[in-house]
Amino acid sequence: MTSTDHARNPARTAVVTGGGKGMGEAIARRLARDGFAVAIVDLDGDAAEHVAAQINSAGYRALALGGVDVSVREQVNAAMQRVRDELGPILVLVNNAGITGFQRFVDITDEQWDRIIKVNLNSAFYCTQAVVGDMTEAGWGRIVNISSSSAQTGSEYMTHYASSKGAMIAMTKCLALELGPSGITVNTIPPGSIMTPMMRASADRGHLGDVEALAARLPVRRIGEPEDIAGACSYLCSDDAGYVTGQIIGVNGGRVT
């Protein structure tokens, strides 16, 4: 059976957190085209509904789960159960939901630190625990954690953000070792500069400096697009990537080599 045949099996359901905008939206659209039934989990209900409606109108299958705060375990568990009820067992999880922050280290408050850790790291912990049983039972699963190249290089005024993303990389490697015998692969994509609503907002606030100058310093001479991340994620979620686990798949235009 080919990878496409596998992906078009209606039992194969993918969950994308933060799937209503930016990289998550591009990933959700790509996985739908690959043949997965896609659940779009997002705090922004309107955004999740919009993406799901467009996927469904294109002849694929998508479910919107809006208003879900993935930093709250109870909300995660309820959302994942709804996905099972409506789409079937969850065999692909993309932990993409995240927030950013810019603050001098000495000025980071406990509240700012805790919020970033809860949304960026705890959410991946909760979501993975909620779905790994489905994958173990099926003997097949794909987990992709969207981390950040800032965790690899460091980034001024982003200690809380980079720390949360660095922990996602460590979690990826640990889970790859633990879950591999069950047929589950776990990998991480640390994006470089990707033109998303979050990046535009950061640029508008003056946190990123001259974006054109930033692009000019990259070997590929451009800022990335969400579809660049979606393409890598598509591969990692396929049968073709069954021998790829515990890996850091950098999609960063050459920022990190």
Buried b (16+ CB within 10 A) or exposed e, 43-76: beeebbbbbbeebeeeebbbbbbbebebbeeebb
Q: Under a CB-based contact definition with an 8 Å cutoff, are residues 42 and 21 in contact?
A: yes
Please state, in angstroms and rounded to a whole number, the distance separating the CA atoms of residues 152 and 172. 14
Say how far apart CA 135 and CA 62 lie, in whole Å. Answer: 20
Cα(25)–Cα(18) distance, rounded to whole angstroms? Answer: 8
On whether the CB atoms of residues 216 and 193 are closer than 8 A, the answer is no
CA neighbor of 65 nearest in space, from 79, 47, 77: 79
Of the candidates 126, 157, 161, 235, the residue annotated as catalytic is: 161
Q: Mark whether 161 is an active-site residue.
A: yes
Just list the catalytic residues: 161
